[in-house]
Amino acid sequence: MIKEKILVIGASGQIGVELTLALRKIYGNASVVASDLREQNPLLEGTGPYVSLDVMNKEMLHVQVIRQNFTQIYLLAAILSATGEKNPHLAWNLNMTGLLNVLDIAREEKIRKVYWPSSIAVFGPTSPKQNCPQQTIIEPSTVYGISKYAGEFWCNYYHNRFGIDVRSIRYPGLISYKSEPGGGTTDYAVEIFHEALEEKKYECFLNEDTYLPMMYMADAIRGTIELMEAPEDKISVRTSYNLSGMSFSPKQIAAAIKKHIPDFEISYKPDYRQAIADSWPQSIDDTVARNDWGWKNEYDLDKMTKEMLDNLKKFLEPAYNL
């Protein structure tokens, strides 16, 4: 059996922290190296090795890969939708160069598997709003969406041309209690829980009926690892898989929170992120992932809301004085 050695790039971010911890449980602490441009997230401290690494510095990355004999790379470093609209060139540079650096090194060093996430942001105003299928009209209107769509086809190209086993998921908005979101349009669905517990009120930057596809982090981490562990012949999509968890609007998540915190109040003040949200589908059809490698979500809005509130209370008790 091959002894895996895994590099997680962007490990201090919203997904990176939880994915690194989950991979360490499976492969052992020493076999999963966390890396990031910023310092190590405190939640990772003492759980395994960490290296400071800039994915834009190809030489430095290459040296690490050779020195540590990595067999798999998870590339999570990116600039997300809302931040990307503020600095389009920076988003394009990081999202493209980072991916190409990893794919090139994977090719040269014969890395066994690469994971790189895409996003529902690949879809644009001309894509179907409801149950948006795997293959459809894809005309993204944000620089983030453009970079993800281009990235999907680079992954497909490196797979077809060089045999790289690169796998990918189009994540919806991810909701988590451990690490903070990093500048996406769906961040409101995390902020709302913190404000509900701390202030009992929240001013939402999207309007009340903005339905978006979302997923609880536990589902996203499980789905990612299931995809990466699926036999190669089960993987028919080498661009990126649609994956669906739940869809809701700010009004609906507020109502779900009110069941636990009856005096919680929400108000609405849409900003530039409303236009980004309006360009995306409201729900996603993930039949292909279900059929290919058995994807199944476990969390709906009510189950996620209860877990978020219970965990945040435990996790942040001293900060919120609960």
Ligand X SMILES: NC(=O)c1ccc[n+]([C@@H]2O[C@H](COP(=O)([O-])OP(=O)(O)OC[C@H]3O[C@@H](n4cnc5c(N)ncnc54)[C@H](O)[C@@H]3O)[C@@H](O)[C@H]2O)c1
Catalytic residue annotation: 144
Binding positions for ligand X, 165-204, rule CB under 6 A: 171, 173-174, 181-182, 184, 186
Among 8, 78, 122, 304, binds ligand X (CB under 6 A): 78
Q: How far apart are alpha carbons 295 and 235 in whole angstroms?
A: 12
Placement of tokens 């669905």 in the chain = 189
The minimum distance between CB 210 and ligand X, in angstroms, equals 15
Among 7, 14, 102, 196, binds ligand X (CB under 6 A): 14
The verdict on 86 binding ligand X (CB under 6 A) reads no
- Measured CA angle at 73 (ends 71, 76), to 5 deg: 170
Binding positions for ligand X, 118-157, rule CB under 6 A: 119
Q: Which helix (H) or strand (E) holds 258?
A: helix 250-258
Q: Token pair of 233, please?
A: 């012949």
The verdict on 223 binding ligand X (CB under 6 A) reads no
Among 33, 55, 103, 164, binds ligand X (CB under 6 A): 55
The minimum distance between CB 283 and ligand X, in angstroms, equals 15
Instruction: Report how far Cα 56 is from the mean position of its chain's Cα atoms.
Output: 20
Binding positions for ligand X, 273-312, rule CB under 6 A: none
- In DSSP notation, 82-130 reads HHHHHSHHHHHHHHHHHHHHHHHHHHHTT-SEEE--EEGGG--TTS-SS
The residue of the chain with the least Cβ separation from ligand X equals 13
The minimum distance between CB 2 and ligand X, in angstroms, equals 26
- Measured CA angle at 99 (ends 98, 102), to 5 deg: 90
Among 4, 54, 139, 198, binds ligand X (CB under 6 A): 54
Q: How far apart are alpha carbons 11 and 34 in whole angstroms?
A: 5
Q: By CB under 6 A, how many residues form the interface with ligand X?
A: 28
Q: How far apart are alpha carbons 155 and 116 in whole angstroms?
A: 8
Which residues contribute to the site for ligand X (CB under 6 A)?
9-10, 12-16, 36-38, 53-56, 76-78, 80, 94, 117, 119, 171, 173-174, 181-182, 184, 186
